[in-house]
Amino acid sequence: MIRYIKEEIRVIRERDPAMHSPWEVLLYPSFKVMLHYRLAHKLYLKKKYFLARWVSQRALRKTGIEIHPGAVIGKGFFIDHGNGVIIGETTVVGDNCTLYQGVTLGGTGKESGKRHPTLGNNVMISAGAKILGSFTIGDNSKVGAGSVVLKEVPPNSTVVGVPGRVVKRGNHTLPQETMDHMLPDPVREDIVQLQQTNTALTNRLLELEAELKQLKKQAAKEETANENI
């Protein structure tokens, strides 16, 4: 238990600059819910399903975070703020992953067996993102705030949008070292591209109109010259 608390203090200090004292870790929802989860998961593995759910539901009422006792979560896991986070039964989370408030690791309701996503190592899921279905989010990947991801994400990728799409590959730093304001904005990029295309089409139309006027003037001159002849 002491080793686990020390590890939690280290993880929270690394990822949350708002922590000023080691004692504050005892107040963190992430710390509280993970204590309950570890116990609930052991009970789940022993097939004591009712007790496991009872422990997890107590944690939900205390923290606002719902982690099914059947989920498999690795080391260095951290939920920042955490209210509204939901992690489904068949979810698998790798080491050193970070989730923000409002994240859902859920299913689509159309699958059986493995119904929930698998997160690789060093994955960060930003606030309000929904990862729905049985697929893998690759190592060192990041999902932008409010994104809805419905298919597999390659390692070292950044995903944003609804539905989520890969907008960056080859992340050179761990997701925890980059913040949301560094994410690309695909909607804005599409709007800018449309504006550029519209400007180009407008300019071309003006050029064609000018050419047409010039042709009309030349035709009028030729017609006048023919009449004079």
Query: 3-class DSSP state for residue 11?
Result: helix
**Residues 85-139: tens digit of each pLDDT:** 999 999 999 999 999 999 999 988 777 888 999 999 999 999 999 999 999 999 9
61-92 pLDDT per residue, tens: 989 999 999 999 998 898 888 889 999 999 99
DSSP notation for 167-202: EEE---S-GGGS-GGGS--HHHHHHHHHHHHHHHHH
Q: How confident is the model at residue 175, as a pLDDT?
A: 56
Residue type, 125: I
179 band by pLDDT with thresholds 50, 70 and 90: very low
- Torsion on CA atoms 188, 194, 195, 196, rounded to nearest 10: 110
Instruction: Give which of 104, 168, 103, 105 is closest to 140, Cα–Cα.
Output: 168
